[in-house]
């Protein structure tokens, strides 16, 4: 047990140093500001340590009973100036360093955000949005705390301790410095020991907090589903179950904090009492003046006040490091799909797409595709049909390189897509997915997302081509209408038309229609099918469909079953074979001809 605790502590220490080292490049962006801030810090502490020395001189000057009392004006003015400088230099230091801190927070947050977007689809399917969001929020706040308190509280306090100890050793009985050092060692040792123990509680709190937040956001995102099944109380109980565990951890955290504060106060009280007892005895014996007594008292107050705060700062720095662990852990998530070194951009031109003996599985124990071979000639349309789970949508995910194939290869114009940049690959492909998820913004923003640099006329032309312009114009806010979280304010058909407009605006060389008209009624489907054929003309197009009537005009139709291509050919050709495709066609025709149930 002890071994495990020691190992965990060493791991935490290594992780803390690694986190601190990772912040150094961000500090070096403003070397001048960092040097100036550190200089102001030193000046502030020198002024602070000099204040008690001047105060001693003032008191000793006023305590000369055998002489006429003369107010030492120069000493009093100097005392006031030193007090001012100790505060002023500190405020100037904070002002100078503010840009360094905020820029570091901005840079790290941006780096994490970009890295999250670079991770594979597998990571994003497994992640919990609320937990990741909370980890990033706590981590960025932890950076600000760490930089400010590490540099401007721990370091200056240690500097002040060193200066005070040097003065005490030089001017007074060595016992003063000895008592000071023993008190500091006991204080720091106690703080470190208890704080390390409390870190387990803090981590538990963080995990439970992230879990509760994930549950809450997941429930709110699925608001309609909760309402459909009347599960409001069930969701509330799930959330409260997590918060109950969090409450227990929070109480442990607070009670252990009270124990730590009480222990620190006892150590400081004993140390100050011993020093004042020794100083008073020296004054009575005549070896020290009243000014010396005041000097030591002020030194102790100046020293132990920040030292008491140092305990809090150390605890919070450890907490900040714990908060930052998960955020930096996100940065250390390996990219499952990464560009090859010095990868060139994809040369698109008239794009020919080739699936060559492609094998793939999302998990090692679940194979999805087996030896898939087919070619989409440049400018042609190939449709893929089959039952649910046959592997149809996996083809589009592989073409976008959300995953890398595990066998065979996928080529565009003879280029293995693993050898080109992902950005150029995805720039050449447009998709209308079956499940269209929109940003919580305006309709205009969501259409323009296909090509953010496009002007308004181009966006409106894309909406017209997708037969959604008239609907948008009929809305009170027109194109500025907010679509709500995940586009929930729009119907399924309206969302799909927005997705079609977005793909039209992108104007890619390769198009993928993944059940592109599944959410449309028959009338709208016929209108949009004609438009889809128009925009697919002269483009390399992959249509993934369940409804066979939408693919009869394809140059070639692939029939998939359990991850394999079992038939391929044109519509008429496949019907003549009287195989799997014919069975699917007859079944769908029969379903369409059956009268609806009342």
Structure-block tokens of residue 207: 């995990």
HSE of 444, CA atoms in CB hemisphere, 13 A: 14
Q: In what order do the strands lie in the sheet with 407-412?
A: 366-376, 353-363, 407-412, 415-416
Tokens 């008592």 found at: 179
Residues 384 and 543 sit within 8 Å (Cβ to Cβ): yes
In CATH terms, the fold of domain 16-331 is ABC transporter transmembrane region fold (1.20.1560)
* H or E segment and range at residue 485: none
pLDDT of residue 66: 39
pLDDT of residue 355: 92
- Asked if the model's pLDDT at residue 597 lies above 60, the reply is no
pLDDT of residue 13: 53
Structure-block tokens of residue 410: 């996928």
pLDDT of residue 392: 84
What share of the chain in percent tops pLDDT 90?
6
pLDDT of residue 456: 92
Structure-block tokens of residue 549: 């009537």
pLDDT of residue 6: 45
- Asked if the model's pLDDT at residue 131 lies above 80, the reply is no
Average pLDDT over residues 14-42: 73
pLDDT of residue 278: 85
What share of the chain in percent tops pLDDT 70?
86
556 contact partners, CB below 8 Å, separation of at least 6:
374, 380, 381, 382, 383, 568, 569, 570
* H or E segment and range at residue 374: strand 366-376
The pLDDT confidence band at residue 68, using thresholds 50, 70 and 90, is very low
Could you give the angle at the alpha carbon of 510 between the alpha carbons of 542 and 382, nearest 5°? 20
Q: Where do you find CATH 3.40.50.300 in the chain?
A: 431-507
Mean pLDDT over the full length of the chain: 80
Write the burial class of residue 267 (CB in 10 Å: 0-12 exposed, 13-18 middle, 19+ buried): buried
Q: What is the distance between the alpha carbons of residues 330 and 212, in angstroms, rounded to a whole number?
A: 19
The pLDDT confidence band at residue 4, using thresholds 50, 70 and 90, is very low
Cα torsion angle, 159, 162, 168, 170, sign: negative
Structure-block tokens of residue 425: 């690959």
- Asked if the model's pLDDT at residue 460 lies above 90, the reply is yes
Residues 321 and 19 sit within 8 Å (Cβ to Cβ): yes
Minimum mean pLDDT range among 134-143, 341-350, 420-429: 134-143
431-507 classified as CATH 3.40.50.720: no
pLDDT digits (tens, 9 = 90+) for 375-432: 999 889 999 998 877 788 889 889 988 888 888 999 998 899 999 998 888 888 888 8
HSE of 475, CA atoms in CB hemisphere, 13 A: 17
Minimum mean pLDDT range among 9-23, 125-139, 467-481: 9-23
Please name which of 489, 488, 487, 470 lies closest in space to residue 478, comparing C-alpha atoms.
Answer: 470
Select the highest-mean-pLDDT range: 79-88, 446-455, 489-498.
Answer: 446-455
Instruction: Give SS3 for 297.
Output: helix
pLDDT digits (tens, 9 = 90+) for 498-513: 888 888 888 888 998 8
pLDDT of residue 518: 64
Average pLDDT over residues 526-555: 80
- Asked if the model's pLDDT at residue 452 lies above 80, the reply is yes
Average pLDDT over residues 142-151: 75
pLDDT digits (tens, 9 = 90+) for 294-343: 777 777 777 767 666 666 677 677 777 777 777 777 777 767 778 888 88
pLDDT digits (tens, 9 = 90+) for 190-232: 887 887 777 777 778 878 887 788 788 888 878 777 877 788 8
Please give the full DSSP string across 168-203, using - where no structure is assigned.
Answer: HHHHS-HHHHHHHHHHHHHHHHHHHHHHHHHHHHHH
Structure-block tokens of residue 327: 């955020």
Please give the full DSSP string across 215-242, using - where no structure is assigned.
Answer: HHHHHHHTHHHHHHTT-HHHHHHHHHHH
Residues 568 and 374 sit within 8 Å (Cβ to Cβ): yes
Tokens 């496949």 found at: 574
The pLDDT confidence band at residue 457, using thresholds 50, 70 and 90, is very high
Q: What length does the chain have?
A: 598
pLDDT of residue 458: 92
Cα torsion angle, 121, 125, 126, 129, sign: positive
pLDDT of residue 7: 46
Report the phi/psi class of residue 597: left, alpha or beta, with left for phi > 0 and alpha for psi in -120 to 50: beta
Average pLDDT over residues 247-270: 85
End-to-end CA distance of the chain: 69
Strand 407-412 with 415-416, pairing = antiparallel
- Asked if the model's pLDDT at residue 69 lies above 60, the reply is no
CB atoms within 10 A of CB 589: 12
The pLDDT confidence band at residue 111, using thresholds 50, 70 and 90, is confident
pLDDT of residue 88: 86
Average pLDDT over residues 445-463: 90
The pLDDT confidence band at residue 125, using thresholds 50, 70 and 90, is low
- Asked if the model's pLDDT at residue 89 lies above 90, the reply is no
Please name which of 380, 431, 429, 412 lies closest in space to residue 538, comparing C-alpha atoms.
Answer: 380
pLDDT of residue 384: 92
263 contact partners, CB below 8 Å, separation of at least 6:
190, 194
Average pLDDT over residues 102-119: 79
Q: Where do you find CATH 1.20.1560.10 in the chain?
A: 16-331
């Amino acid at each position: 047990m002890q071994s495990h605790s020691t190992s965990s502590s060493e791991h935490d220490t290594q992780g803390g140093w690694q986190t601190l080292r990772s912040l150094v490049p961000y500090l070096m962006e403003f070397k001048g500001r960092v040097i100036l801030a550190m200089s102001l810090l030193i000046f502030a502490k020198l002024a602070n340590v000099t204040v008690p020395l001047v105060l001693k001189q003032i008191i000793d000057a006023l305590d000369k009973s055998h002489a006429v009392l003369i107010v030492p004006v120069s000493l009093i003015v100097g005392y006031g100036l030193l007090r001012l400088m100790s505060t002023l230099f500190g405020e100037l230091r904070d002002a100078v360093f503010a840009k360094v801190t905020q820029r570091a927070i901005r840079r790290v947050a941006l780096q994490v955000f970009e890295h999250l977007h670079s991770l594979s689809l597998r990571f994003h399917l497994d992640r919990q949005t609320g937990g990741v969001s909370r980890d990033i929020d706590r981590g960025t706040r932890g950076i600000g705390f760490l930089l400010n308190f590490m540099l401007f509280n721990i370091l200056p306090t240690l500097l002040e301790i060193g200066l005070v100890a040097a003065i005490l050793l030089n001017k007074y009985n060595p016992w003063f410095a000895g008592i000071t050092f023993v008190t500091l060692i006991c204080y720091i040792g106690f703080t470190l020991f208890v704080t390390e123990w409390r870190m387990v509680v803090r981590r538990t709190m963080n995990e439970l907090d992230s879990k509760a937040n994930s549950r809450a956001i997941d429930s709110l995102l699925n608001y309609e589903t909760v309402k459909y099944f009347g599960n409001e109380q069930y969701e509330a109980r799930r959330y409260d179950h997590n918060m109950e565990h969090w409450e227990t951890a929070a109480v442990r955290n607070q009670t252990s904090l009270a124990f730590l504060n009480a222990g620190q106060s006892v150590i400081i009280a004993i140390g100050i009492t011993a020093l004042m007892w020794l100083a008073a005895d020296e004054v009575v014996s005549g070896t020290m003046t009243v000014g010396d007594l005041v000097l030591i008292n002020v030194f102790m107050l100046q020293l132990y006040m920040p030292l008491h705060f140092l305990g809090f700062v150390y605890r919070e720095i450890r907490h900040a490091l714990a908060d930052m662990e998960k955020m930096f852990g996100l940065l250390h998530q390996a990219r499952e799909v990464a560009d090859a070194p010095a990868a060139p951009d994809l040369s698109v031109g008239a794009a020919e797409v080739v699936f060559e003996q492609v094998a793939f599985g999302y998990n090692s124990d679940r194979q999805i595709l087996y030896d898939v071979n087919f070619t989409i000639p440049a400018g042609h349309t190939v449709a893929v049909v089959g039952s649910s789970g046959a592997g149809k949508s996996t083809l589009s995910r592989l073409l976008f390189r959300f995953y890398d194939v595990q066998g065979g290869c996928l080529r565009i114009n003879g280029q293995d897509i693993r050898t080109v940049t992902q950005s150029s690959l995805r720039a050449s492909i447009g998709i209308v997915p079956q499940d269209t998820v929109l940003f919580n913004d305006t309709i205009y923003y969501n259409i323009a997302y296909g090509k953010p640099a496009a002007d308004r006329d181009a966006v409106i032309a894309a909406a017209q081509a997708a037969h959604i312009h008239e609907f948008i114009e009929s809305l009170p806010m027109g194109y500025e209408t907010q679509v709500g979280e995940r586009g929930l304010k729009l119907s399924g058909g309206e969302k799909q038309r927005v997705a079609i407009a977005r793909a039209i605006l992108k104007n890619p060389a390769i198009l993928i229609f993944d059940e592109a008209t599944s959410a449309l009624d028959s009338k709208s489907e016929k209108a949009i099918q004609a438009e889809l054929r128009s925009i697919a003309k002269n483009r390399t197009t992959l249509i993934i469909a369940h409804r066979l009537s939408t693919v009869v005009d394809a140059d070639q139709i692939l029939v998939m079953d359990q991850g394999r291509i079992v038939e391929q050919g044109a519509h008429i050709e496949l019907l003549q074979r009287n195989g799997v495709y014919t069975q699917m066609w007859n079944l769908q025709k029969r379903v369409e001809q059956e009268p609806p149930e009342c």
